[in-house]
Amino acid sequence: MFDQLSDFIKDYGYYALFVGTFLEGETILVLGGLAAAAGDLDLWLVIVVAFCGSLAGDQTVFFIGRFLGARILGWLTANRPWRQARVDKVHRLMERHHVMLLLGFRFLYGLRNIIPLVIGSSGVKTSRFIFLNIVGAAVWAVTVACGGFLFGHALELFIGKAKGIVLLGVASIAVIIWIARHIYLRRAARRTKQSEGDPT
């Protein structure tokens, strides 16, 4: 089973990494760093692919926001106060920490997917976003990939060659985080509806 998983990572790891970072990123990039630590992927290629995937994904969302942002945001937030609250939070962050938000939105868990859409629908210049998006994608790719790589080497010290256990453990943690996030968002939406007097 481990040999099959290793072969899959070697054959499709970079494609999966690009798609994963295009859509969101953190979990798949950590796994990419771990695979590099195990010798199944090259760390520098992991960083380059993650950079390209993240940059392409967020740039795409930005341009969607530039041309269709108001309509999409109106549809997303209609009768969904908790989503409107997230959009309002992004606007407040834009007013207070404009440059830092553009550079570091990938590190804002729970907001990173909607931020490029909101920024695209705002008055931020396209050239400014592209430049800061390139810098932010580079910092994010290096930081997260190297974090996964170092974490994988640290685990190797404790469990030797049991790379399958490492990958299984990290995958399990990723699933738990995803489930916890899903539960948190549902409860937040329920609390918002209750505070506004809507029936649950």
DSSP, res 137: H
108-134 residue pLDDT tens: 766 677 778 888 878 778 888 899 899
Q: What does pTM read for this prediction? A: 0.68
Whether the Cβ atoms of residue 105 and residue 117 lie closer than 8 Å to each other: no
- pLDDT tens digit sequence for 77-109: 666 776 677 777 776 777 677 777 778 778 776
To the nearest 10 degrees (0 to 180), the angle between helices 81-96 and 43-77 is: 120
pLDDT of residue 193: 60
Task: Answer positive or negative: Cα dihedral of 80, 83, 87, 89.
Answer: positive
Contact 21/28 with Cβ under 8 angstroms?
yes
List, for residues 16-59, the tens digit of each pLDDT value. 888 888 887 777 788 888 888 878 889 999 999 999 999 999 99
